[in-house]
């Protein structure tokens, strides 16, 4: 196949070229293209992917789907394997849920606060209690407990699975080589792409939701476990080894304790990923808070969606801070088991008192209705901003212009480009910024999209991603620079970023439609809102970490503050900026896909369609294309340094 020959012959290039500057890489690629492109063109001309090179997978997929539905209640594979998996999940979630209900709202809040107090201090304890009470005040106590039960099971399972995989990768080089690309890839996949296969096997419901969450949340745990084990201090290990310990003793007494920080960071990451999945999984019947958000959106009720979204944000912020603080406090002394005992006794007492006083279900009278004022505010906003605003024009006009002047030309341009030239561009970009390996992966991923027969919709999605990334980077870099230069601005910004990072994307889909209409523009807008916090954060952090000595010397040379920024800070923060680009691209892709729900069309719509109609052929092919697109975008934007640092 012409598509893969290009990169394979790059493999044959002498290693010396790799050490030479970018021009050499481009020259090599150009030489290669000069040979292969004419071949490809004479064989398969035209702009879109040649139909001779596609594989139609819809029939086998349709058959597979029928087979699963017909055999789900009789085939041994389902009865003796999947059935038990599903059963265990249901029993576990139910057990946690019943326990939470039995402890009651007073008990759960008290236990949460006391645990937070012991691991993270008084301030976070108060915050935790306030967060739980806020969930109750919003009238969301039972859904919050449902989500919490699901999260507890999913996070535990993710941590166990992730830790085991990480252990394997940390101890065996061969496992590491096998697992790393898989984990790398899973990290960049949009959550939406996971749903359909899981639903097909397990059906709509909690087991499917938990398993999709585990698949999504386990990879960071595995990566960080392996990283922690591999990063352990060599000298300490040698010292332990010289004591004549066995391999297992070394692992248990030295390597794992030394990796504590990474392990806790892994748990933290896993929790965040699992929570972000909580809402998306409601599409496949997870219930709980996510389902409330989803149902509220059906009646275009932003206020009610927000009432269910806020508890998710609160849970996420609290869990993030508490596990983060636990990681920082590691190694500090003074954590005596006695205070833990006190905490336990107090918690039990509160729970018991709550039980005796009948404080199990959240009292109805204590609920605050925020839906109405929020809806009024949203209505006012959309009524006054939608169109006819003097001078600048309304948001609908912007959306229209953005669609006709940016999105349409970009999409048409990409689709007009001959397919081989798209591959060439991908190869060139990925090779320039990375190695021939990343270039090869990127080109193969792009070619796979063509083979699956979704070339045109994928380029449509790609055009939305590119437009959104451009906007995100301009706004994000500007805000990040401002935040790096002013402490007060950064302090103001931090809670806003926290909220937007954890707010379920579904919540702002409707306001976005109200402002920008239906189409690709709102999808892009939602993606920008979602990706912006990460970009701002990484940019600000990168700029702040620039060596103060370098800045000082620039200042003493009389550089103005603009010159300092341009000539010292930005160049020195280049790795961080590249990372920001990479993260921005991955996050934008995730939301552009969800944009299928607001008229984004293309791959996102196909996944939604597949889920909604139970149409495996459409949904799975689009899901696979998203995976490939994500892989390609990640490789094209992945700086070499990151890869080198991760290398063992």
Partner 1 sequence: MSRKRITVAAAVLVLATGCGAADMTKQASPFANAQGAKTVTLSVQSWVGAQANVAVAQYLLEHELGYRVDTVQVDEVPAWDALSQGRVDAILEDWGHPEQEQRYVQDKKTIAAGGDLGVTGHIGWFVPTYFAKKHPDVTNWKNLNKYADLLRTAESGGKGQLLDGSPSYVTNDKALVKNLDLDYQVVFAGSEAAQITQMQQFAKEKKPFLSYWYTPQWLMEKVPMTEVKLPPYEEGCDADPAKVDCAYPVTPLQKYLNADFAKDGGKAAEFLRKFKWTTEDQNQVSLMIAEQKMRPEEAAKKWVDSHESVWKAWLS
Decide: is 87 part of the binding site for partner 1 (CB under 8 A).
yes
Decide: is 205 part of the binding site for partner 1 (CB under 8 A).
yes
Q: Are the CB atoms for 284 and 274 separated by under 8 Å?
A: no
Which of 386, 437, 451, 640 lies at the binding interface for partner 1 (CB under 8 A)?
386
Packing angle, helices 302-329 and 288-298, rounded to 10: 150
Min CB(65)–partner 1 separation in Å: 11
| CA angle, 469 then 473 then 475, to 5° | 120
Decide: is 611 part of the binding site for partner 1 (CB under 8 A).
yes
Q: Could you say which DSSP state residue 392 is in?
A: T
CA distances 516 to 374, 387, 401, 412, 513, Å, are 19, 10, 11, 21, 5
CB closer to partner 1 out of 434 and 619: 619
Which of 18, 79, 239, 252 lies at the binding interface for partner 1 (CB under 8 A)?
79
Q: Which of residues 393-412 bind partner 1 (CB under 8 A)?
A: 396, 399-401, 403-404, 408
Q: Which of residues 482-511 bind partner 1 (CB under 8 A)?
A: 509-510
Helix (H) and strand (E) counts in the chain = 33, 0
| Two tokens, residue 551 | 């800045």
Decide: is 603 part of the binding site for partner 1 (CB under 8 A).
no
Decide: is 61 part of the binding site for partner 1 (CB under 8 A).
no
CB closer to partner 1 out of 172 and 567: 172
Which of 50, 203, 324, 418 lies at the binding interface for partner 1 (CB under 8 A)?
203
Min CB(159)–partner 1 separation in Å: 19
Decide: is 173 part of the binding site for partner 1 (CB under 8 A).
no
HEC string of 338-375 equals HHHHHHHHHHHHHHHHHHHCCCCCCCHHHCCCCHHHHH
Decide: is 371 part of the binding site for partner 1 (CB under 8 A).
yes
Q: Could you say which DSSP state residue 282 is in?
A: G
Q: Which are the contacts of 286, defined by CB distance < 8 A and separation ≥ 6?
A: 147, 150, 206, 209, 278
Matching residue, tokens 């012991």: 118
| Two tokens, residue 417 | 């480009």
Which of 91, 368, 644, 648 lies at the binding interface for partner 1 (CB under 8 A)?
91
Which of 221, 277, 297, 468 lies at the binding interface for partner 1 (CB under 8 A)?
297
Min CB(287)–partner 1 separation in Å: 6
Decide: is 41 part of the binding site for partner 1 (CB under 8 A).
no
CB closer to partner 1 out of 376 and 491: 376
Cα-flanking dihedrals φ and ψ of residue 172, to 5°? -120, 125
Decide: is 312 part of the binding site for partner 1 (CB under 8 A).
no
| Pairwise CA distance, residues 343 & 355, whole Å | 18
Decide: is 171 part of the binding site for partner 1 (CB under 8 A).
no
**Measured between alpha carbons, how far apart are the two ends of the chain, in Å?**
34
Q: Which of residues 127-166 bind partner 1 (CB under 8 A)?
A: 146, 149
Decide: is 460 part of the binding site for partner 1 (CB under 8 A).
no
| Two tokens, residue 120 | 């993270």
Which of 6, 40, 93, 279 lies at the binding interface for partner 1 (CB under 8 A)?
93
Which of these segments, 311-319, 321-329, 330-338, 379-387, binds partner 1 (CB under 8 A)? 379-387
Q: Are the CB atoms for 176 and 648 separated by under 8 Å?
A: yes
CB closer to partner 1 out of 219 and 595: 595
CB closer to partner 1 out of 211 and 543: 211
| Two tokens, residue 561 | 């503050």
Q: Which is it for the CA torsion 130, 131, 136, 142, positive or negative?
A: negative
Decide: is 249 part of the binding site for partner 1 (CB under 8 A).
no
Matching residue, tokens 């697992």: 179
């Amino acid at each position: 196949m012409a598509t893969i020959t290009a990169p394979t012959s790059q493999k044959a290039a002498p290693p010396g070229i790799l050490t030479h500057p970018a021009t050499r890489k481009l020259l090599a690629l150009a030489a290669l293209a000069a040979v292969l492109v004419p071949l490809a063109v004479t064989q398969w001309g035209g702009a879109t992917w040649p139909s001779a090179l596609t594989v139609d997978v819809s029939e086998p997929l349709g058959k597979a789907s029928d087979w699963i539905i017909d055999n789900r209640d009789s085939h041994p594979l389902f009865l003796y394997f999947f059935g038990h998996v599903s059963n265990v999940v249901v029993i576990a979630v139910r057990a946690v849920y019943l326990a939470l209900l039995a402890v009651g709202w007073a008990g759960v809040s008290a236990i949460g606060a006391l645990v937070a107090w012991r691991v993270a201090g008084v301030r976070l304890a108060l915050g935790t209690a306030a967060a739980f009470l806020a969930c109750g005040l919003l009238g969301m106590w039972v859904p919050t407990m449902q989500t919490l039960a699901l999260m507890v099971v999913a996070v535990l399972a993710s941590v166990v699975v992730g830790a085991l995989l990480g252990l394997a990768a940390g101890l065996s080089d061969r496992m590491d080589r096998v697992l790393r690309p898989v984990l790398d890839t899973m990290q960049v996949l949009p959550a939406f792409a996971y749903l359909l296969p899981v639903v097909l096997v397990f059906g709509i419901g909690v087991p499917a939701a938990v398993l999709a969450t585990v698949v999504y949340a386990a990879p960071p745990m595995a990566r960080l476990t392996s990283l922690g084990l591999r990063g352990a201090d060599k000298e300490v290990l040698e010292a332990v080894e010289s004591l004549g310990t066995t391999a297992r003793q070394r692992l248990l007494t030295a390597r794992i304790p030394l990796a504590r920080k990474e392990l806790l960071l892994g748990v933290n990451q896993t929790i965040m990923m699992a929570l972000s999945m909580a809402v998306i999984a409601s599409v496949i019947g997870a219930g709980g808070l996510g389902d409330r958000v989803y149902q509220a959106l059906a009646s275009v009720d932003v206020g009610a969606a927000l009432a269910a979204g806020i508890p998710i944000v609160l849970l996420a912020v609290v869990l993030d801070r508490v596990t983060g603080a636990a990681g920082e406090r590691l190694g500090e002394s003074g954590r005596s088991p006695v205070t833990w005992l006190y905490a336990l006794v107090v918690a039990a007492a509160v729970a018991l008192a709550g039980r005796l006083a009948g404080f199990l279900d959240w009292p109805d009278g204590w609920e605050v209705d925020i839906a109405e004022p929020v809806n009024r505010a949203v209505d006012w906003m959309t009524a006054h901003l939608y169109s006819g605003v003097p001078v600048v024009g309304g948001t609908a006009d912007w959306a229209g212009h953005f669609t006709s002047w940016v999105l349409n030309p970009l999409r048409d341009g990409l689709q007009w480009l001959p397919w081989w030239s798209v591959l060439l561009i991908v190869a060139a970009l990925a090779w320039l910024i990375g190695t021939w390996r990343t270039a090869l992966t990127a080109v193969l991923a792009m070619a796979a999209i063509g083979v699956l027969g979704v070339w045109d919709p994928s380029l449509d999605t790609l055009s939305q991603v590119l437009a959104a990334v451009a906007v995100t980077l301009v706004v994000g870099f500007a805000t990040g620079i401002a935040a790096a230069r002013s402490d007060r601005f950064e302090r103001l910004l931090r809670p806003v970023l926290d909220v937007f990072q954890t707010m379920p994307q579904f919540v702002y889909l409707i306001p976005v439609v109200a402002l920008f209409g239906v189409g690709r523009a709102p999808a892009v807008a939602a993606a920008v809102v979602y990706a912006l916090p990460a970009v701002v954060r990484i940019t600000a952090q990168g700029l702040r970490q620039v060596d103060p000595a370098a800045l000082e010397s620039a200042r003493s040379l009389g550089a103005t503050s603009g010159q300092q920024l341009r000539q010292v800070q930005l160049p020195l923060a280049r790795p961080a900026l590249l990372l920001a680009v990479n993260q921005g691209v991955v996050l934008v892709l995730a939301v552009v896909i969800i944009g299928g729900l607001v008229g984004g069309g293309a791959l996102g719509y196909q996944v939604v369609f597949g889920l909604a109609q139970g149409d495996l052929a459409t949904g799975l092919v689009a899901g696979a294309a998203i995976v490939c697109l994500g892989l390609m975008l990640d490789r094209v934007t992945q700086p070499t340094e990151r890869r080198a640092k991760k290398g063992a």
